[in-house]
Amino acid sequence: MPLTFLYTMYIMKKGDNMSNIHNDNINQEIMEDILSMADKDIWNVIFAIENEFGIAEVPSPTGGANGFIAKLFELRKEARSI
């Protein structure tokens, strides 16, 4: 009896995001770097946003430390994906 291979094909539509191990590793690397900065002092995160992306990208302090961390993650992820 011959071998039969079955596989699933997924066709991405415009606007779909593809998540894979490489992207997950990049996200994890970015977040680990940011969290190590934040563990020392949240000002390290604020200064990183200002130095890398400009003062205009520094978010309002109403989000607290998590707001600064999330913003730096978003900016670095966008910069790496270009």
Structural domain boundaries of the chain? 21-81
Average pLDDT, stretch 32-56? 95
**Pairwise pLDDT comparison (8 vs 44), residue with the higher score:** 44
Average pLDDT, stretch 8-35? 75
Q: What pLDDT score does 48 carry?
A: 96
Query: Which helix (DSSP H) or strand (DSSP E) does residue 53 occupy?
Result: helix 42-53
Whole-prediction pTM value?
Answer: 0.73
For residue 3, pLDDT over 80 is answered with no
Q: What pLDDT score does 13 carry?
A: 58
Under the banding of pLDDT at 50, 70 and 90, the label for residue 70 is very high
Instruction: Please give the structure tokens belonging to residue 61.
Output: 């302090």
